[in-house]
Amino acid sequence: MNFDFTKILLAIIVFLFSIIAIKVTLSFNLNEYLKRRDKKLKGKIKNYCTHANIKNFDDVIGIESSFISPSGTTNWICEKCGLQIYHLDKKGEKRKFEYFFKNPKKFKKQEKKFQKLLKKAGFL
Ligand SMILES: [Zn+2]
């Protein structure tokens, strides 16, 4: 009788330990998953960013690049999404602005998706 009791107690202890072990691995995996999801989302945000702002230049609506070059560096960083580039292709930027200017609906659509992703990632 006594022997059985210790066996049961041991079984309970083993059971408890296994629960703890499962919990630890679960929370660990969850953290990994969240981190991976975060990384994926940040990549998506950078993909959907227009890297441009619509601005009013003396009553004329124009498109302005959101890339800035912080002093002391030659890199360019997008103010909106944080994308870092080492060389700003000015011709490419101009082409992009012209495209958005001719297709304002595309700009709005992309901007909408970008805002949605920002919200999803908790930036807004
Ligand atoms: Zn950007």
Q: What is the pLDDT of residues 38-81, one digit of tens each?
A: 899 999 999 999 999 988 878 888 888 999 998 998 999 999 99
**Residue 69 domain-assigned?**
yes
CA–centroid distance, 81 to ligand 1, in Å, is 4
d(CA 47, CA 93): 15
- pLDDT band with cut points at 50, 70 and 90 for residue 119: very high
Q: 7: number of CA atoms within 13 Å, CB side?
A: 4
Number of domains in the chain: 1
Q: What is the pLDDT of residue 1?
A: 55
In the chain, pLDDT over 70 holds for what percent of residues?
98
Q: What is the pLDDT of residue 52?
A: 93
Q: Is the pLDDT of residue 19 over 70?
A: yes
Three-state secondary-structure class, residue 78:
strand
CA–centroid distance, 63 to ligand 1, in Å, is 14
Contacts of 101 (CB under 8 A, 6+ apart): 63
Contacts of 96 (CB under 8 A, 6+ apart): 51, 52
Contacts of 84 (CB under 8 A, 6+ apart): 75, 76, 77, 78
**Residue 90 domain-assigned?**
yes
Q: What is the pLDDT of residue 110?
A: 95
Average pLDDT over residues 111-120: 94
**Residue 66 domain-assigned?**
yes
The domain in which residue 87 lies consists of 37-121
In the chain, pLDDT over 90 holds for what percent of residues?
54
**Residue 14 domain-assigned?**
no
Residue 24 DSSP symbol = H
CA–centroid distance, 66 to ligand 1, in Å, is 7
CA–centroid distance, 16 to ligand 1, in Å, is 49
**Residue 44 domain-assigned?**
yes
| Residue pointed to by tokens 């953290």 | 31
d(CA 50, CA 96): 9
